Amino acid sequence: MTDGQVPVAGRLPRSERVGAAERGATRIADRVVAKVAAQAAREALRAHTDNKTPGRNSGGGPAADPGRLPVVGRPVRRTSVTVRERTARVRMALELRYPSDLGAQCGAVRRRVVARVRELVGMEVPDVALEIDRLHSVHLKGDGSGRVT
């Protein structure tokens, strides 16, 4: 800086600024993108369950309905992500409620994963591959797990 120059709000004078190519790059690890995607899938399944479940009261909370299908305890079983530049391809294994509209649940998961990864990580997600690993039913009382295998 020359005498008499006053820095403006922490900005360097033009002659001392570093170009974008020289500053470096931010790399987001695949496992971070996988965690964001898994959380988005859990959010989607929770929202889908709350919105589509009969027995909702007008107060916004779930009604005490013994026939209500609960959110599965661990709905996202595995998540893997492949990142290339600014694009992420996501693969997930899910445990879903049964009986229910499995296609609607998968659609909600795909939409939420694409939106949240774009919003939080800044990557496009052209492919979300879902595998339904298990179905969970409250109607099965045999072994107590409620899982249909």
Mean model confidence pLDDT for the chain: 78
Nearest by Cα to 102 from 137, 78, 127: 137
pLDDT the model gives residue 106 = 95
DSSP β-bridge partners for residue 128: 90
pTM summary value = 0.67
In the predicted structure, residue 107 carries a pLDDT above the cut 50: yes
Tens-place pLDDT, residues 15-45: 777 777 777 778 899 999 999 999 999 999 9
In the predicted structure, residue 66 carries a pLDDT above the cut 50: no
Nearest by Cα to 131 from 69, 73, 80: 80
Q: Delineate the domains of the chain, giving CATH numbers in brackets.
A: 28-53+67-143 (3.30.300)
